[in-house]
Structure 1
Amino acid sequence: MQVLPTYYTSGSTRAIKISKAVIRMRHVFRQRLQQAGSQAGMALAALFYLGKNGLTK
């Protein structure tokens, strides 16, 4: 099973091939890219990933 690196972008979804490596660029809403590159952004990305059903009180 091959694991493809995936990066989120506000641009269109596409795959880029560099030599033998394939990198996926996946479109997401700008809201999901807030605070990208910071600890707060990482926490927001985790919350989006878990969704409402993945959170408890």
Structure 2
Amino acid sequence: MNIPHSCRGGKCGRCKVQLLAGEVTTLNQEGLTDTEIEQGYVLACSTIPLSDISINR
């Protein structure tokens, strides 16, 4: 799946997706608000899946 991205460093938020299931390690969340983080959003450009995942884009 292609996910749009811009900075590739976790700063702009263009690659924001909502994690519905699975485990990830997040390297950077600068492009997200506290509310988005609470709602399960991650930045695809700076997140490493640790299992199979489901996302909402």
Which has the bigger relative contact order, CA under 8 A and spacing at least 6? 2
TM-score by length of 1: 0.19
* Structure with max Cα Rg: 1
TM-score by length of 2: 0.19
